[in-house]
Structure 1
Amino acid sequence: MAKIKLKHFVRRKGGKHTYWMPTPKMVEAGFSPVPCGPDGPDAWKIAQEWEDRWQAYRKGITRSPAARRYPIGSVGDAFERYRQTKTWAALKPRTREDWERGWTWIEPFFGDRPPARITFEIIDAWYHGLLKKHGVDKAYRAMKTWRSLYRVMSGMQLCGVGQDPSLGIRRKTPPGRSETWSEGEAVRFVKGAWREGYRGLACIVAVAWDTSFSPVDVRSLTPGHAVEAREDWGFLIRRGKTDEAAFGTLSLRTQRLVLTYLDGLGVTILDDAPMFRTRGYAPGPKGGRPRAGVPYTKDSLVDDFADVRRLVFGPDEKRRLMDMRRSGSVEANAGGGALEAISAKMGNSIDRSKRLQKVYMPVNLAAVRAADEARRKGRRLLGMEQNKAKKLKLAAGKKLKPTRGGTRSA
């Protein structure tokens, strides 16, 4: 039998046992020794497969080594099988990211274990250990991923349907965000970003404020999304998260801002190309390599937003771009906007029955205009509201007389 040479392929004395043996650097990256069996074509094939995986990881072709071999029927094996399915491929990128983040807390404890042998006591110790060491947010995410994965594993017939031991644990939920921006703060941010050269970011913030689109929907806008209806000009999209249709109208101020930005690019943006870009880099007195702006990604948008936020509002400000979406609904609600109008404005279903929302409240321009008007009305009311509640002492003998909308001291 011919002998061939393979990287990291080791033959034990006598050739009865062979291994694909990673170096210490490869072990740090997550790769482990792999038994290949007796020396021969089958062993060579296994070794070459793992060598190809290492090379793909080393060159950055794959995000993770996916190098660990889990026992058949284990939790890790089930997750690897799930990630090879068309169901996994059909998930939204953000959803897959959530699964991957949750898996990082599951894998060290349960990767090698059969799911049917994981008891309530084991899962209880795991969850409360995460809760104590890493806090509510990470423990919540890990438990959320576990429960979703358990349903997949039950579908694979690796464990009983409806017998998830984690259901006996009352999971703590992290508090939801409640921060909002005011119109004046949004204007200050846009002006600060424009002055500092973050003109694509300035447009993103202005559009996000007017349309109540999510950050990912705004940074993904293209010229092909622009539509005009009578005096209104804006963007018609399908939301990336829910695939719901949404029409976002722009104020005259934002329209001028976007058109000025596009005119200043000096190039024509294709109908299917993202419009808003990073500021790039122009060499200063010390020189350097010029760099043109590129379409915003999730990370670059977060970084640039944080830089401008710090310049305009100081280092203690922690509100995010996503909070502007909530600001729009707060204004519309304060102005008496109907749920149907707000739903059409935001491109989601905010009451209990999403199916009925889709059937009976399709996106329409009249509803979007109603939500815009409610926002303007609510903005005025919120700006006029300056009275703050203060302690009222109710004591015997103290005279009070009624006031409009409440009581006050005599």
Structure 2
Amino acid sequence: MQAMGFPSSVPCGPDGPDAWKIAQEWNARCQVARTGREPAPKHVWPRGSLGEAFDRFRTTEIWKTDWAHRTREDWERGWSHIAPIFGDLAPRTVTLEHIDAWYHALKVMKSVSEAHRAMKIWRALWNVAAAMHYCSAEQDPSFGIRRETPRGRSATWEEGEVVRLVKAAWRRKYHGLACIIAIAYDAQFAPVDSRSLCLRDSRDDGMKLWFEIDRAKTGRDALATLSLRTQALIRAYVATLPNNLLPSAPIFMTRTGAAYTKNSLAKNFRDIRKLVFPGDTRQLQDMRRTGAVEAQSGGADLSVISQKMANTVASSAHLQKTYLPVNQAAVELADEARKRGWRRIRENKSGPKVETLRPGELKPARENPAKPLK
């Protein structure tokens, strides 16, 4: 509720009728704001404070139109750690000791990655405040802090494990989730790109089905090439959708018919993962790394992997983006390398192999009566 402008605590006085009346009044205000029946009171920051600078920045066209929604989310997330400590202070009054204590407290109370993210937003916000003449860009006290880089993720999935996740999701009526998992693995898409796919992003030449998008994070063109099993899965799913679905509406939905959000997708994936692999902590986003590992194991060049992932994974990021525009041949080459890679990975694993789809469980696209995507 503090993020909505409410105070962290309200003194009600000695226990008694007057104190209970004050408590009930504030509780009623909170419930009204929480349920949206009335807008939450806007927090007014002191003049010249960092909070005032951020409020002003939120009114700019840079914030409202130029930045992607995901970027604004990152800033708001970082601001949630900055505001309680520094929001009502003038930037010039913040010292190295203040920043040092705040940063190390975040590492202990939250995590290294959360502290790293918050410090990143602090430094970016300081530059914004400097542009508004609240402070000097060269006098950021955080320059004296060396951030601890969070340890990168290294988890991957195996092809057979992905099949089991897809089958489990489909059998439990998580049809949209099953398609998202299959696409995330085949196309090496991030969860946000997989759940945001629309009918207008689909391409169907009568033989193959694929998607073409601009990645949410990098803005680069990306091709989602799909296996025959995934194509059949999507065709079967699309056949169940209402005919009045807008071309700009997300295709894949929850069991209640709502479009997937970041949180609902993560929750449903955890539910299926718990059923299939109890105790596992791998995430949907690890599908993207899995594809890169498989392609590299299959002998794919970094430039080819960059084409598949629609990012600048190769050594020269600027040249890769400038001179290697996405093309379908390169993406399909990465697919072939991935097939060789996961076969090698499976051959090197000991123990029983994971079962794959049974013949006839999902018919190939050419035998499936589902309508083509439009």
For 2:308 and 2:3, locate their aligned partners in 1 and report how far apart those are by CA, in whole Å: 51
Measured after TM superposition, the shift of residue 167 of structure 1 is: 1.0
Partner in structure 2 of residue 335 of structure 1? 298
Alignment partner of 1:326 out of 279, 289, 297: 289
Percent of aligned pairs with the same residue? 50
Higher relative contact order (CA 8 A, sep 6+): 2
Which residues of structure 1 form unaligned runs of 5+?
A: 1-24, 33-52, 281-292, 388-410
Q: Secondary structure at the match of 2:139?
A: coil
**1:86 and 2:22 are equivalent in the alignment:** no
Counterpart contact for 1:233–1:250, Cα < 8 Å: yes
Q: 2:160 aligns with which of 184, 188, 209?
A: 184
2:99 match: 123
Structure 2 CA distance, aligned partners of 1:270 and 1:58?
31
Q: Distance in 2 between matches of 1:66 and 1:354?
A: 45
CA separation in 2, counterparts of 1:54 and 1:188?
45
Instruction: Pick closer, same or farther for the CA change 1:232–1:107 going to 2, 3 Å.
Output: same
Q: What residue is the counterpart of 1:171 in the other structure?
A: 147
CA contact (8 A) 2:5 2:41 kept: no
Structure 2 residue aligned with 1:305: 269
> Using the alignment, how far apart are the partners of 2:3 and 2:169 within structure 1?
45
Q: CA–CA distance in 2 between the matches of 1:299 and 1:80?
A: 26
In structure 1, the partner of 2:50 is 75
**Does the CA contact (< 8 Å) of 1:31 and 1:67 recur in 2?**
no
Instruction: Please state how far the C-alpha of 1:236 moved relative to its aligned partner.
Output: 0.7
Normalized against structure 1, the TM-score is what?
A: 0.74
Residue in 1 aligned with 2:220? 244
**RMSD (Å), alpha carbons:** 2.6
- How far, CA to CA, are the matches of 1:343 and 1:147 in structure 2? 30
- In the alignment, the residues of structure 2 paired with residue 237 and residue 97 of structure 1 have an alpha-carbon distance, to the nearest angstrom, of 21
Query: Alpha-carbon deviation of 1:232?
Result: 4.0
CA 1:193–1:84 in structure 2 vs 1: closer, same or farther (change >3 Å)?
A: same
- The correspondence of residues 389-404 of structure 1 with structure 2, limited to 5 A, is none
> Which residue of the partner structure matches residue 139 of structure 1?
115
Moved more, 151-160 or 257-266: 257-266
Alignment of 1:174-253 (within 5 A): 174-228=150-204, 232-253=208-229
Q: Secondary structure at the match of 2:67?
A: coil
- The yes-or-no answer on 1:109 pairing with 2:85 is yes
> Could you tell me how far apart the structure 1 residues matched to 2:242 and 2:105 are?
56
Rounded Cα–Cα distance in structure 2 between residues aligned with 1:205 and 1:28: 35
Alignment correspondent of 1:95: 71
Q: Deviation string for 1:8-45 (max 9, x for gaps)?
A: xxxxxxxxxxxxxxxxx99995169xxxxxxxxxxxxx
Deviation at 1:294, TM superposition (A): 2.0
Whole-Å separation in 2 of the counterparts to 1:310 and 1:223: 31
SS of 1:236's partner is strand
SS in 2 for 1:130: helix
Counterparts of 2:59 and 2:4, CA distance in 1: 25
Moved more, 200-209 or 87-96: 87-96
- State the shift of 1:83 in Å: 1.1
Distance 1:254 1:78 in 2: 48
Which structure 2 residue ranges, 5 or more long, are not aligned?
9-28, 351-374
| Residue range with higher mean Cα deviation, 80-89 or 123-132 | 123-132
Shift of the alpha carbon at 1:223? Answer: 1.8
Q: Distance in 2 between matches of 1:384 and 1:165?
A: 54
> Which has more radius of gyration?
1
3-state SS in 1 of match to 2:212: strand
Structure 2 counterpart of 1:257, which letter? L
1:189 and 1:309 in contact (8 A); partners too: yes
* 1:100-125 Cα deviation digits (max 9, x unpaired): 12112211221121111212122112
Does the 8 A contact of 1:31 with 1:65 survive in 2?
no
- Counterpart residue type for residue 58 of structure 2: R
Distance 1:343 1:81, change over 3 A: same
1:33-88, Cα deviation, whole Å (9 max, x unpaired) = xxxxxxxxxxxxxxxxxxxx9999466289x8462222221111111111111111
In 1, Cα distance between equivalents of 2:205 and 2:41? 50
C-alpha spacing 1:259/1:319, structure 2 compared with 1 (3 Å):
same
3-state DSSP of counterpart to 1:71? coil
Q: Is the 8 A contact 2:166 2:181 kept in 1?
A: yes
The Cα shift of 1:265 comes to: 3.3
Match of 1:162 in 2: 138
Q: 1:333 to 1:306 in 2, by over 3 A?
A: same
Instruction: Verify the 8 A CA contact 1:31 1:68 in the aligned structure 2.
Output: no
CA distance in 1, matches of 2:102, 2:30: 31
Find the residue that maps to 1:264 and give its secondary structure. coil
Choose from 327, 335, 350 the match for 2:313: 350
Q: Secondary structure at the match of 1:179?
A: coil
Supply the distance in 2 between the matched residues of 1:108 and 1:204 (Cα, whole angstroms): 38
Give the Cα–Cα distance (whole angstroms) in 2 for the partners of residues 254 and 109 of structure 1: 49
